[in-house]
Amino acid sequence: MSTRYKIWLAATGAALAALIVAAIALRQSFALTAFSDIIQCLLLASGTAAFVPLAARSEGRLRLFWSLIALGIGFWFTYQLLWTYYEVVKRVEVPALFDGDIILFLHIVPLTAALTLRPHVSRDEYAPRLGRLDFALLLVWWFYLYVVTVIPWQYVVADAPAYSRNLNTLYLVEKLAFLTILAIGWIGSKGDWRNLYASLFGMGLCYSTSSYVANWALARNLYYSGSLYDVPLAIAMAWLTWIGLRAKAKAADSDAREVSTVYGVWVARCGMIAVFSLPLFAIWTMSSGSMPARIRLFRLVLTLIAALVMGVMVLLRQHLLDRELVHLLNRSQDSFDSLKRLQAQIVQSEKLASIGQLVGGAAHELNNPITALLGYSDLLSSTPLTAEQQPLAAKIGQHVRRTKSLVASLISFARPPAPRTSVDLNALMRTAIKLTQNQWQALKMEVRAELDPTLPKIHGDSNQLLQVCIQLVGNGLHFLSEQGGIGLNVSTRHDRGTCMMEIATIPLAAATSSDGAVSAAEPEDSLGLSACQGILQEHQGQLCCERRTPAISAMRVELPADPTPANGMQSMLPALWQSRPFA
């Protein structure tokens, strides 16, 4: 606590001590009355000012909470000013039918409203929309009680004893309701909020007790302003300053949402009970034979007006509740649809996982006979063959290698994804050309590599991307064996954060069509290319196939460059294979 607040508390304690000493030492006199009334005004002004900084430092529901408490104390302070005006300025007793009593009755309403906000718990979706309307319904009913029980004896038929009796009874019920709500908040809170509610409960209990004792003494002509009966009342006033200066403006605790929901339901039930109580008041008014006719008529008309107003509020509440229910139903339907889609995706994922396991197992089983076929085809190609047999042997080896590449693609497709790192696409392309060297040499073809030495690295799985490179080279060689040509031209380049790799066939007469047209062609319907497309999609890349002439086909791979800073350090190795054919 700051030094300023300590001085503030010390001044409040000194004012309270002076009032107690005056009540003990001085007899009934105007000086005692004036001193007591002024000290009480100062104590209430101090209590109101103590809660203003809390509201200024807070926001949202918490700011409204502190503001309502300050407003309730401010009403009490206003009532005390009116009381002081009569006793000190006008030097007369406060009238028995005092118009300012409505302010005294109203000062507990903002305090109760602050407690119904329950800032110590989290709000559920029901409370913000309907809780305020439920409380407004109870507030209208509470004003109806005051007007129907107190006002008739003040303005319709003036009767001071009946007015005082009804006012004191209703005010006592109001204070008991306030203490009950405080007790509920005290039990359901923890930490600083529990301490705050406990302090407010102690203050409220002290004030309620002193007010009841003062009314008892007033009825027996024992009370006068500044007497010992005012000491507990002054203690409650000073207590407000202590509470406000020690309280901490903090956000709501993350309590269970179920607590807030149950509380909102009970508030709604109390609102409905209030609505159903109006016919009972009407019956009580009609059955009271000793009641003056003017008061009976006033109460019946007031009850009809209250029933009309509260009926409209109930209809509005029902409309808002219907909207909430429709909203919740729509959200439930959306959640159910999302759950069904998720279930379907899980089933599909399980099917794909099973297919992947099956494909992976079958591919591993096929590897052994394919390896044997590859060995025998190489052995056959190395033996002396006739001019007619040599191309046939080369084609056997080519198709066996292509089948092996397809099996490797299946294994790569079924393999779980490996951790991704920065990959040099040029190095992958050189490795793919080296691994397929037996294929294009057996077909007596050449592979020209035009690799960009400044090509940025990419982020991905090097094994999967190498399989893509091998598959595309194999597809190009297969196209050459069907259409005829002298080899492949492999090139890499980059443009605006995109790395591109192109594999184009070199025909016997290396020229494009007369008009230079380029047409899109669907990729060959093969399991290998499908696997390549799946791998590239996982790397946010794409595969494009073009048919430039009947004899020239090109496949282009586009992949995003790795945005990491390490990408700026390009490989310092010379492009040994750049711009020269592989013999």
Determine which of 75-79, 80-84, 545-549 has the lowest per-residue pLDDT on average.
545-549
519-532 pLDDT tens trace: 444 444 455 677 78
For the chain, give the mean pLDDT.
81
In a domain, 118, yes or no: yes
402-412 pLDDT tens trace: 777 777 766 66
308-330 pLDDT tens trace: 998 898 888 888 878 878 888 89
Across residues 20-49, what is the average pLDDT? 93
pLDDT of 127 strictly over 70:
no
Choose between 519 and 9: higher pLDDT: 9
Last residue of a domain, one of 252, 282, 300: 252
Q: Which CATH number goes with the domain that contains 549?
A: 3.30.565.10
Torsion from C-alpha of 558, 562, 568, 573, nearest 10 degrees: -60
pLDDT of 44 strictly over 90:
yes
Determine which of 105-119, 368-382, 454-468, 479-493 has the lowest per-residue pLDDT on average.
368-382
3-state class (DSSP) for residue 320:
helix
Last residue of a domain, one of 229, 252, 275: 252
Number of C-alpha atoms within 13 angstroms, CB side, residue 264?
20
Please list, in sequence order, all residues whose beta carbon lies within 8 angstroms of the beta carbon of residue 14, skipping any fewer than 6 positions away: none
* Beta carbons of 378 and 338 less than 8 angstroms apart: no
pLDDT of 249 strictly over 80:
no
- Per DSSP, the residues of 4-69 read HHHHHHHHHHHHHHHHHHHHHHPPSSHHHHHHHHHHHHHHHHHHHHHHHHHHHH--THHHHHHHHH
CA distance 182 to 560: 63
In a domain, 402, yes or no: no
- pLDDT value of position 366: 76
In a domain, 111, yes or no: yes
Percent of the chain with pLDDT over 90: 25
CA angle 264, 270, 274 (to 5 degrees): 145
- pLDDT value of position 221: 85
Q: How many domains does the chain have?
A: 2
Paired sense of beta strands 458-460 and 498-506, if any: unpaired
- The encoded tokens of residue 368 equal 């052994």
- The encoded tokens of residue 499 equal 């790395």
In a domain, 510, yes or no: yes
Q: Which CATH number goes with the domain that contains 215?
A: 1.20.1070
In a domain, 296, yes or no: no
pLDDT of 75 strictly over 90:
yes
Please list, in sequence order, all residues whose beta carbon lies within 8 angstroms of the beta carbon of residue 425, skipping any fewer than 6 positions away: 455, 457, 458, 465, 492, 499, 501, 559
- pLDDT value of position 240: 94
For 535, the domain range is: 419-582
195-233 pLDDT tens trace: 999 999 999 999 999 988 988 888 888 888 889 999 999
pLDDT of 563 strictly over 90:
no
**Residue 449's beta-bridge partner residues?**
490, 578
pLDDT of 254 strictly over 60:
no
Choose between 236 and 404: higher pLDDT: 236
pLDDT of 261 strictly over 60:
no
pLDDT of 271 strictly over 80:
no
Please list, in sequence order, all residues whose beta carbon lies within 8 angstroms of the beta carbon of residue 2, skipping any fewer than 6 positions away: none
Last residue of a domain, one of 219, 252, 285: 252
Residue 263 pLDDT class (50, 70, 90 cuts): low
In a domain, 137, yes or no: no
pLDDT of 242 strictly over 90:
yes
